[in-house]
Structure 1
Amino acid sequence: MSSNLTAIELLNLGNEGRQKPVLNQYWPYLLGTFFGVGTGVMLNFGTKRPLFSGIQKHIAGVVVWTSLLTYVTNKREEYLAEKDAVLRHYIQLHPDDFPTPERKKIADVLEPWVPIR
């Protein structure tokens, strides 16, 4: 980044042509499966049955946990998108509050080095 970036450019930086990482796409399904099967196992353990008996409990747990985690993920993404939109709108309405920062050299930022012996 050789040039000075405005606040809007910084907010939009890196979003063009970007797709979600693979783990972020599938985490509700992975965790839903883990917690759903775990819920069935814990229910069977609590009632002193074989851990993987009653497969309908495991399937129902996977469905419930996956649905819940998918809903939470969608709500989180909506919240973050709305937050970004509000920030973008505020920056557009108040450009004088966000001046373009002046360029600094590393030598101006670092303090002089004094060896302590």
Structure 2
Amino acid sequence: MADSTRVSEKELERREGFIRAGRRERHLIDPFTWSYPWKGAGAMLGISVAALYLQNRWNKKPYYYAIVPRLILVGAATAVGYAAGALREKHYQTRDAVIEHYMQLHPEDFDHFNDRSGRSFSQVLLPWYPRRTQYTRYD
């Protein structure tokens, strides 16, 4: 490959660290940096509050109508969202651990990932042999 397409090892490490979940710096304003449990809790909180507002508007009730039971329901929905996010995070951690373990057991299957500069298309693409109907013999 051309030298212009090669990237330094330091830059590759920076990109990998930026892409991986849980490795970015947390910001309260940016929900994309939150962990999965907090994303789930925030989403359920937002959906619950929006649903309460729309129901009150539809039924022409004031915002404080049945506020205590509704706040309890919002809290329960937020807890369910947090639990769903925690379950999702556990699933992804288990999946990554299984993949890493498989890669440790079979390193010969993953040698092509060590060349970070990439392979040429001649090494990637399989040869193509056309089979046309006008040919009667297949050799």
Distance 1:37 1:58, change over 3 A: farther
Letter paired with 1:2? S
Distance 1:20 1:69, change over 3 A: farther
Alpha-carbon deviations, 1:76-108, whole Å to 9, x = none? 000000000000000000001111454458xx5
Q: How does 1:21-60 map to 2 (within 5 A)?
A: 21-22=26-27, 23=31, 24-25=34-35, 26-44=38-56, 48=59, 50-52=61-63, 53-60=65-72
**TM-score, normalising length: structure 1:** 0.61
Instruction: Report how far residue 60 of structure 1 moved.
Output: 1.7
**TM-score, normalising length: structure 2:** 0.53
Task: Indicate the structure (1 or 2) with the bigger Cα radius of gyration.
Answer: 2
Which residue of the partner structure matches residue 78 of structure 1?
A: 90
Identical counterparts, % of pairs: 23
Q: How does 1:2-21 map to 2 (within 5 A)?
A: 2=8, 13-14=16-17, 18-19=23-24, 21=26
Mapped to 2, the partners of 1:51 and 1:61 lie a distance apart of 18
Instruction: Report how far residue 34 of structure 1 moved.
Output: 2.2
- Gapped regions of structure 1 (runs ≥ 5): 4-9, 110-117
Distance 1:81 1:104, change over 3 A: closer
Distance 1:49 1:2, change over 3 A: closer
User: Aligned residues, how many?
Assistant: 97
